[in-house]
Amino acid sequence: MTQTQNTTEKQGLFAWLMQRVSGVFLAYALVIHLWTVNVVNQGELNWQTISTRLQEGNFWFIYYMLFIPAVIYHAFNGLWSIALDYNPSPAKQRLLGWLFWTGGIALTIYGYFGLKPLFGVAQ
């Protein structure tokens, strides 16, 4: 086995593992979300309730700081796996990789900016 094949296999293993880790985290996050909306707040939510809850403690801040990149990574890694099923050329793989990483970083930043008003950072 050549060094290139070994490196590719390690990168594939990392992406595979992170897809599973992000999937488990997202399943947990979905349970927390549904429990909070339906049990704690009994389905009655508004902007003020959510903003107050998010400003009360670090749990929700950490939750959303992890949730946003987990969703984006999980989605783009899934799209990457689908793209690889079509056996694109190395040039197309580089282009797709660049687009997915750039898009993922941009969407993560956009998601964080969207949360700023909820956390009381920008009034």
Listed by start position, the domains of the chain span: 3-115
- Can you give the pTM of this predicted structure? 0.79
Read off the pLDDT of residues 32-90 as tens digits, 9 standing for 90 and up.
988 887 887 776 777 787 777 778 877 888 888 999 999 999 999 999 999 999 999 99
- Using pLDDT thresholds of 50, 70 and 90, give the confidence band for residue 10: low
Residue with tokens 């997915």: 100
According to DSSP H, which parts of 1-123 are helical?
3-35, 47-56, 58-85, 90-115
The CATH-assigned architecture of domain 3-115 is Up-down Bundle (1.20)
